[in-house]
């Protein structure tokens, strides 16, 4: 089969499409013909070695496709079923092995490419807005990179919960998309200082929660934008990791909360995986949640997908189509 292989860590150029042996499913595993694989920021951290990986490896944690074989003891799915997953390495390939415990059924009416794009980021938006800080009706919320894959999903989720969204974006095109997703206010953070504008838009109060996947470049402004006892959910580092900081700042700025959550700790049981993925798929089916596919790339152009994502040239969800 064709797959993208990383032989050694580095820039996007280390993502090379190659002919490799077909995988065979082990005990409890499914062999899946991949219809689409999601491109995620974590793939870039694994590609560079910022998140250590054994090499060589086939990247990609997220995807959807059709079961073509089942391993010993796998009983939850059968050949022909459509499944999706959000935490199984090896998705940038024509075929991949997925343990049945990490797979969910793709419901009728949800296309496989949409399902591929819904798992990792959709469930992340779910846990951030339901569990990390449960958004209440009337809360004002700050979402950075509001036209990105996570940003568009967070914005829609917060609006569905009755919140008011202040989004940050870098360009007019991104502003338009974020507003279409429901953002009430937009700050062009490349031109306007974030925290004073947030204070102005909240009558000096600050926001209940900041969802910050940008990291190094926005962290200080995120803290300065919070109301007393507000929460900073730092869920990523698109601009680089946040350096160590003095916890006393949380006291001085209003008894703030800071957390650095990750999806793996929010789908710990089958019940939790089914609950979060089920609610994401139900929202898609009912039209309340749109997965905006911002780019589709063949496996041979995986490097370009990472280059575009890290170069701030993308909006919405990126997919690789084997
Ligand atoms: N913790 C979790 O469970 C979890 C799960 C999924 C994703 N994430 C995190 O969520 C974040 C967003 O992921 P995504 O895939 O949806 O990406 P994305 O938001 O579509 O792309 C990143 C965006 O960040 C903004 N940005 C600001 N400064 C940047 C810089 N110096 N370099 C690159 N981008 C910059 C850009 O938007 P503007 O041009 O508008 O500034 C860019 O388009 C990532 O940090 C990712 O690690 C975390």
pLDDT band for position 229 (50/70/90)? very high
pLDDT band for position 99 (50/70/90)? very high
Q: Is any atom of ligand 1 closer than 6 Å to the C-beta of 272?
A: no
Q: Taking the CB of residue 87, how many other CB atoms lie within 10 A of it?
A: 17
Q: Give the residue, by CA position, lying nearest to ligand 1 atom 45.
A: 236
Q: Is 260 helix (H, G, I), strand (E, B) or coil?
A: coil
Q: Taking the CB of residue 61, how many other CB atoms lie within 10 A of it?
A: 23
Q: Mean pLDDT score of the chain, rounded to an integer? A: 97
CA of 4 to the centre of ligand 1 (A): 22
Reading the block at residue 219, the tokens are 């962290």
Residue 120 pairs in a beta bridge with none
**Tens-digit pLDDT profile for residues 247-301:** 999 999 999 999 999 999 999 999 999 999 999 999 999 999 999 999 999 999 9
CA of 154 to the centre of ligand 1 (A): 12
Q: Give the residue, by CA position, lying nearest to ligand 1 atom 28.
A: 239
Q: Give the residue, by CA position, lying nearest to ligand 1 atom 6.
A: 121
CA of 237 to the centre of ligand 1 (A): 7
CA of 281 to the centre of ligand 1 (A): 23
Q: Is any atom of ligand 1 closer than 6 Å to the C-beta of 148?
A: yes
In ligand 1, the atom with minimum distance to the C-alpha of 40 is: 15
User: CA angle, corner 119, sides to 305 and 272, nearest 5?
Assistant: 150
- Quick one: pLDDT at residue 155? 98
Residue 244 makes CB contacts below 8 A (sequence gap 6+) with none
CA of 307 to the centre of ligand 1 (A): 13
CA of 235 to the centre of ligand 1 (A): 9
Q: Give the residue, by CA position, lying nearest to ligand 1 atom 30.
A: 239
CB 152 within 8 A of CB 177: yes
Q: Is any atom of ligand 1 closer than 6 Å to the C-beta of 305?
A: no
| Closest to 116 in 3D by CA, of 264, 318, 300 | 318
Q: What own/partner pairs with CB < 8 Å and gap ≥ 24 does 42-47 have?
A: 42/120, 43/92, 43/306, 44/306, 44/309, 44/310, 45/237, 46/6, 47/6, 47/9, 47/10, 47/12, 47/14, 47/15, 47/306
Give the C-alpha separation, 322 to 304, whole Å: 15
CB 233 within 8 A of CB 261: yes
Residue 303 makes CB contacts below 8 A (sequence gap 6+) with 12, 13, 14, 15, 16
Q: Is any atom of ligand 1 closer than 6 Å to the C-beta of 176?
A: no
Residue 30 pairs in a beta bridge with 70, 98
What is the fold of 2-119+267-321? Quinone Oxidoreductase; Chain A, domain 1 (3.90.180)
- Quick one: pLDDT at residue 105? 98
Give the C-alpha separation, 212 to 216, whole Å: 10
Using the 8-state DSSP alphabet, how is residue 214 labeled?
Answer: S
CA of 8 to the centre of ligand 1 (A): 24
**Tens-digit pLDDT profile for residues 196-220:** 999 999 999 999 999 999 999 999 9
Residue of 312, 317, 318, 320 to test ligand 1 pocket, by largest number of atoms within 8 Å of CB: 312
CB 199 within 8 A of CB 206: yes
CB 104 within 8 A of CB 76: no
CA of 265 to the centre of ligand 1 (A): 20
pLDDT band for position 84 (50/70/90)? very high
In terms of pTM, does the model score above 0.95? yes
Q: Is any atom of ligand 1 closer than 6 Å to the C-beta of 117?
A: no
User: Structural domain boundaries of the chain?
Assistant: 2-119+267-321, 137-260
End-to-end CA distance of the chain: 10
Q: What own/partner pairs with CB < 8 Å and gap ≥ 24 does 170-174 have?
A: 170/312, 173/147, 173/315, 174/146, 174/147, 174/315
CB 28 within 8 A of CB 71: yes
User: CA angle, corner 112, sides to 110 and 113, nearest 5?
Assistant: 110
**Tens-digit pLDDT profile for residues 166-202:** 999 999 999 999 999 999 999 999 999 999 999 999 9
Burial class (CB in 10 A: 0-12, 13-18, 19+), 262: exposed
Q: Which CATH architecture has domain 137-260?
A: 3-Layer(aba) Sandwich (3.40)
- Quick one: pLDDT at residue 286? 95
- State the average pLDDT over residues 23-40: 98
CA of 121 to the centre of ligand 1 (A): 11
Residue 232 pairs in a beta bridge with 210, 258
Q: Write down how long the chain is.
A: 322
């Amino acid at each position: 089969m064709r797959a993208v292989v990383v032989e050694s860590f580095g820039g996007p150029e280390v993502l090379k499409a190659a002919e490799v042996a077909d995988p065979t499913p082990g005990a409890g595993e499914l062999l899946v013909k991949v219809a689409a694989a999601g491109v995620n920021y974590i793939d870039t951290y694994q590609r560079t070695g910022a998140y250590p990986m054994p090499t060589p490896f086939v990247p990609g944690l997220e995807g959807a496709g059709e079961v073509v074989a089942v391993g010993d003891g796998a009983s939850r799915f059968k050949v022909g079923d459509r499944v999706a997953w959000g935490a199984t390495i090896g998705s940038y390939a024509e075929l991949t092995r997925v343990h049945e415990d990490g797979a969910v059924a793709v419901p009728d009416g949800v296309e496989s490419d949409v399902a591929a794009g819904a798992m990792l980021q959709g469930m992340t938006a779910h846990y951030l807005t339901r569990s990390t800080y449960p958004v209440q009706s009337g809360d004002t919320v700050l979402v950075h990179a509001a036209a990105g894959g996570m940003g568009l999903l967070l914005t829609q989720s917060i609006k569905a919960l009755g919140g008011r969204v202040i989004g940050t974006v870098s360009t007019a095109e991104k502003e338009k998309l974020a507003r279409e997703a429901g953002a009430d206010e937009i700050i062009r953070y490349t031109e306007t200082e974030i925290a004073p504008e947030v204070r102005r838009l909240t009558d000096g109060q600050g926001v209940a929660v900041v969802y910050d996947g940008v990291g190094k470049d926005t962290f200080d402004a995120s803290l300065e934008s919070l109301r007393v006892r507000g929460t900073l959910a730092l869920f990523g580092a698109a601009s680089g990791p946040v350096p160590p900081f003095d916890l006393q700042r949380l006291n001085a700025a209003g008894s703030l909360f800071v957390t650095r959550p990750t999806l793996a700790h929010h789908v710990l049981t089958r019940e939790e995986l089914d609950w979060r993925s089920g609610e994401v798929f139900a929202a898609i089916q009912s039209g309340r949640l749109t997965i905006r596919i911002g780019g589709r790339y063949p496996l041979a152009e995986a490097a370009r997908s990472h280059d575009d994502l890290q170069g701030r040239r993308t909006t919405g969800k990126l997919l690789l189509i084997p």
